[in-house]
Amino acid sequence: MSDLTEATPAGEWLIYRGTGEPHTGIDTLPEPPPWRDFDGSPLVQRGPGQDSSSARRLGAYRHMAEMHRPSPEELEMVNAALYLRRPLLVTGSPGTGKSTLAHAVAYELGLGRVLHWPIVSRSALQDGLYRYDAIGRLQDTQIAANSGTVPPGGIGSYIRLGPLGTALLPTAQPRVLLIDELDKSDIDLPNDLLNVMEEGEFAIPELERLAEREPQVDVLTDDGAKVTVREGRIRCRAFPFVVLTSNGERDFPPPLLRRCIHLELGRPDHKRLSTVVRAHLGDEAATVGDDLVKRFLERSRGELLATDQLLNAIYLTHHAAPPTRSRLADMLIQRLDRPR
pLDDT at residue number 42: 53
- 33 upstream amide cis, omega within 30 of 0: no
Identify the pLDDT of residue 12.
63
Rg (CA), the chain: 24
Which residues, given as ranges, of the chain have pLDDT below 50? 1-7, 10, 41, 43-59
- CA angle at residue 180 from 246 to 247, to 5 degrees? 20
pLDDT of 84 reads 92
Q: ∠ CA(222), CA(224), CA(225), 5° rounding?
A: 110
Spatial contact of 114 and 176, defined as CB atoms under 8 Å apart: yes
Q: Residue ranges of the alpha helices (H) in the chain?
A: 60-67, 72-84, 98-109, 125-129, 134-147, 163-167, 189-199, 205-208, 254-258, 270-281, 283-288, 290-300, 307-317, 324-332
Alpha carbon 285 to chain centroid distance? 25
pLDDT on residue 37: 67
3-state secondary structure of 59: coil
Q: 79: phi > 0 → left, psi -120 to 50 → alpha, else beta; which?
A: alpha
What sign has the CA pseudo-torsion 170, 65, 332, 96?
positive
What is the structure's pLDDT at 49?
A: 37
pLDDT at 56: 31
